[in-house]
Amino acid sequence: MFKKLDDVEKRFIELSTLLADPNVTANAKSYTNYMKEYSSLKELVDIYRRYKKINEDFDSTKKMVDTEKDPGLLEMAKAELPDLEKRLHQLESDLKFALLPKDPNDEKNIIVEIRAGAGGDESSLFTESLYTMYLKYAQKNGWQVEAMSLNAGNVGGFKEVIFGIRGSKVFSKLKYESGVHRVQRVPKTETQGRIHTSTVTVAVLPEVEEIDINVNQIDLKIDVFRSGGPGGQSVNTTDSAVRITHVPTGVVVVCQDEKSQIKNKAKALKILYARLYDAEMTRQQNELSSQRRSQIGTGDRSERIRTYNFPQGRVTDHRIGLTLYQIDKIMGGDLDELISPLTTHYQAEALKSQ
């Protein structure tokens, strides 16, 4: 492990020199590629340098314990040694996590699809609640959100909402949100105060470009039509809505929220590419052994991953057995107390397979 870390540090130093070279900075493509590599190594190198510094301190302190004659200095060294050893073990653990193979999608932006499941109108209302929760989380992280497709429910909320989130390491943060989210609460439509149980499905897809996935344009059937439902004066009176069908797979995407046919087509293609890429990734994962699949941790979308119980004020993530009595904070976009333990759990599972 330490030979590999030495090589990484050498490459990091080399990149630092390259990024200061005027010939490199004058070439935008080279500079961008080097900067990406530099940024990807920085966290690991920082941890390794801290480890080496603490290791030096530990060795010198241990030597002092073995050789020091002065009682006062000896006592001081003995008192410092356990703390240094603890910090050393923690940094070694951090290094192992940092050396885990990176998910190639972690740096990507995402497309989120939230759909009402069982529970009728209440499911549509909770779809809107989850949409708002993710919007607030994105806002707290300084990410940009783009609504892509909104399908209104019968009494409010959404039957389906599709939106994009752009920012730093968005997929790495939200990839574990895919799955079935269950809500237990008294619906707005309930007149007798009974608690209902409903479900909503969430799919988090890495956003990809056409170059990331092989899509033959002759396999795409593109139809345009007049938008339906509520809209502005142009939305419902021109053929601005776009339906794209990927004929080989039967995947269909419809976008009709924009007044511009061009904008609707661009959004529909983004969603289509993301769905096709996700389907290919799922196919590849299914070819792996069952043990390896369990450690990928992206979440089966048929799996109930979380329950939001409003009467008890609790949120339970069933994958790691975590229950938090902070439902108002979580629905307000404070998701890190759920996301951080999930990330740690799946990292630990991945470490076991190394």
DSSP state of 175: G
pLDDT band at 188 (very low <50, low <70, confident <90, very high): confident
Give residue-wise pLDDT tens across range 279-296.
888 777 666 554 444 433
- The string of pLDDT tens digits covering residues 206-247 is 988 766 677 888 888 988 887 665 444 444 556 788 898 999
Asked, for residue 103, whether it belongs to a domain, the answer is: no
191 and 324 housed in the same domain: yes
Residue 51 sits in a domain of what CATH number? 1.20.58
User: Read out DSSP for 283-349?
Assistant: HHHHTS-HHHHHHH----TTSEEEEEETTTTEEEETTTTEEES-HHHHHTT--HHHHHHHHHHHHHH
Structure tokens at 26: 């004058």
Residues across the chain: 354
Looking at the fold, whether 195 and 216 belong to one and the same domain comes out as no
Tell whether 227 and 259 lie within a shared domain. yes
Decide if 253 is inside a domain: yes
- Structurally, the chain folds into a number of domains equal to 3
Mean predicted lDDT score pLDDT of the chain: 85
Instruction: For residue 299, name the pLDDT band (cuts at 50, 70, 90).
Output: very low
**Statement to judge: residues 243 and 131 lie in one domain:** no
SS3 state of residue 37:
helix
Which tens digits make up the pLDDT trace of 303-351?
A: 789 999 999 999 999 999 999 999 999 999 999 999 999 988 888 787 7
Decide which of 75, 98, 121 is a domain's last residue. 98
Question: Both 182 and 73 in a single domain?
Answer: no
Give the range of the structural domain holding residue 269, as residue numbers without chain letter. 212-285
**Same domain, yes or no: 154 and 175:** yes
DSSP 156: S
Is pLDDT at 153 greater than 70 in this prediction?
yes
Residues 198 and 312 in one domain: yes
Asked whether residue 144 falls in the same domain as residue 202, the answer is: yes
Q: What is the CATH number of the domain that holds 271?
A: 3.30.160.20
